[in-house]
């Protein structure tokens, strides 16, 4: 508010300087005209002219000379005052400009610091993502591949000794390889679901909730409100990641029976609300069974994603009372 007032005051000073400069230019012009007329009268009104001219005309000329002398004196005085006034305005403007420059540099320094902190957070988030991917690959694909290699070694030894058992082992390996392919597809889907690029976010969220129904006993209710419009890919993937993380946390930690998801399209933003009737957690005691931050992105990751898009997020929860997550993101 103070900054706006100073900006207004700065504009007023600049306008005063502009108007005063115009007035100064006009005064200088009038001064030059008066000096010119005075010199012309003084040249004409010499002793010879006075001797041969009627006294009335001579007196009129002298009166004009005195008038222009008085005008010249007055214009010089006004010019001096106007110059002082302009200098006063310029000094105030310089002081104000110095203040703005200082404020700008300070804001720039704070902005750089904030951006550095954001970059560090982004790097931390990326590193956490890499750790999660590595853990998922190790716990599923790598272990299954290792198991398959052992089966291959066993089957190669049994080919001549026990062909029937060797064939059975090969059938098991075929099943294992299919499982590995499915697991890799899941990993790829988690990294970037192709549907996010092609479908509206309400459809993508619906697909994710259907997946949650398939892998759990949760009763999932999903509702969409407002006029459905296409949003930018970054908003879509952010909402998808949040619903994905929230659902994973509910399935793994919340011990809930029911989940309600509301997606609402507004004029300039999109809102999403996720409610569950699970175990909940207590912010004050640090008991966060809902989401173990050391093992997943959790709530911190949600907040980071929303913050990067200049959105809002609020989380309400208490032990035994479930959890509610509210997100509001500009449509970009």
Query: Do 21 and 95 belong to one domain?
Result: yes
Three-state DSSP class for 290? coil
At 276 the pLDDT is 93
At 57 the pLDDT is 74
At residue 262, φ and ψ (nearest 5 deg) are: -120, 125
Query: Do 31 and 160 belong to one domain?
Result: no
Query: Do 222 and 259 belong to one domain?
Result: yes
The first and second tokens of residue 154, run together, are: 């066993």
Query: Do 305 and 223 belong to one domain?
Result: yes
At 224 the pLDDT is 93
The first and second tokens of residue 321, run together, are: 């009372």
| Integer Cα distance of 220 and 276 in angstroms | 9
The first and second tokens of residue 179, run together, are: 């499982």
**Helical (H) or strand (E) element with 40:** helix 2-44
Q: Assign residue 288 the CATH number of its domain.
A: 3.30.565.10
Q: Assign residue 60 the CATH number of its domain.
A: 1.10.287
Instruction: Identify the domain containing residue 67 by its residue range.
Output: 2-119
Query: Do 180 and 197 belong to one domain?
Result: no
The first and second tokens of residue 319, run together, are: 């032990």
- Provide the residue-wise pLDDT of the chain in tens; the chain has 332 residues: 566 777 787 788 888 888 888 888 988 898 888 888 888 877 766 666 666 667 777 778 788 888 888 988 998 999 999 899 888 888 888 887 777 777 777 777 777 777 677 677 766 767 777 787 788 777 777 888 888 888 888 888 888 888 888 888 888 888 888 888 888 887 777 676 656 666 788 888 898 899 889 888 899 999 999 988 888 888 888 888 888 888 888 888 888 899 999 999 998 899 999 999 988 877 555 444 444 444 344 677 788 788 888 889 998 888 888 899 999 998 86
Look at residues 20, 33, 36, 37 and name the one whose alpha carbon lies nearest to residue 80.
20
| Integer Cα distance of 206 and 250 in angstroms | 16
Domain boundary among the residues 189, 206, 232 is at: 189
Query: Do 200 and 281 belong to one domain?
Result: yes
Q: What is the largest CA-CA distance in the chain?
A: 152
Burial degree of 11 (CB within 10 A; 0-12, 13-18, 19+)? exposed
Query: Do 208 and 151 belong to one domain?
Result: no
Query: Do 203 and 292 belong to one domain?
Result: yes
In angstroms, the Cα distances linking 113 to 106, 108, 127, 304, 311 are: 11, 9, 21, 17, 20
Q: Specify the number of domains making up the chain.
A: 3
Query: Do 18 and 39 belong to one domain?
Result: yes
At 260 the pLDDT is 94
Cut 0.75: pTM above it: no
Beta strand extents in the chain (DSSP E only): 219-225, 258-265, 269-276, 312-317, 323-330
Q: Assign residue 151 the CATH number of its domain.
A: 1.20.5
| Integer Cα distance of 276 and 284 in angstroms | 20
Contacts of 131 (CB under 8 A, 6+ apart): none
Domain boundary among the residues 189, 215, 235 is at: 189
């Amino acid at each position: 508010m103070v900054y706006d007032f100073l900006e207004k005051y700065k504009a007023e000073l600049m306008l005063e300087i502009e108007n005063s400069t115009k007035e100064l230019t006009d005064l200088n012009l009038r001064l030059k005209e008066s000096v010119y007329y005075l010199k012309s009268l003084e040249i004409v009104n010499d002793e010879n002219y006075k001797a041969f001219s009627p006294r009335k005309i001579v007196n009129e000329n002298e009166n004009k000379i005195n008038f222009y002398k008085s005008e010249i004196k007055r214009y010089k005085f006004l010019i001096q005052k106007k110059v002082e006034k302009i200098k006063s305005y310029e000094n105030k403007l310089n002081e104000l400009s110095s203040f703005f420059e200082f404020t700008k540099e300070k804001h720039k320094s704070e902005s750089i610091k904030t951006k550095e902190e954001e970059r560090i957070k982004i790097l931390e988030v990326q590193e956490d993502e890499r750790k999660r991917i590595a853990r998922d690959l190790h716990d599923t694909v790598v272990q299954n591949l290792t198991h398959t290699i052992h089966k291959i070694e066993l089957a190669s030894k049994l080919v001549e000794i026990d062909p029937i058992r060797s064939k059975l082992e090969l059938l098991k390996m075929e099943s294992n390889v299919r499982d590995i392919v499915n697991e890799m597809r899941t990993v790829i889907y988690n990294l970037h679901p192709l549907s996010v690029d092609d479908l509206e976010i309400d459809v993508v969220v619906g697909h994710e909730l259907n997946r949650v129904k398939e892998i759990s006993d949760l009763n999932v209710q999903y509702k969409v409100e407002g006029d459905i419009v296409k949003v930018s890919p970054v908003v879509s993937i952010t909402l998808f990641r949040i619903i994905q993380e929230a659902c994973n946390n509910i399935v793994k930690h919340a011990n809930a029976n029911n989940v309600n998801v509301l997606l609402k399209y507004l004029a300039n933003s999109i809102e999403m609300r996720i409610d569950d009737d699970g175990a909940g957690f207590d912010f004050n005691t640090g008991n966060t069974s809902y989401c173990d931050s050391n093992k997943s992105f959790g709530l911190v990751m949600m907040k980071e994603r929303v913050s990067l898009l200049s959105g809002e997020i609020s989380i309400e929860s208490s032990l035994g009372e479930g959890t509610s997550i509210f997100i509001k993101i500009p449509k970009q």
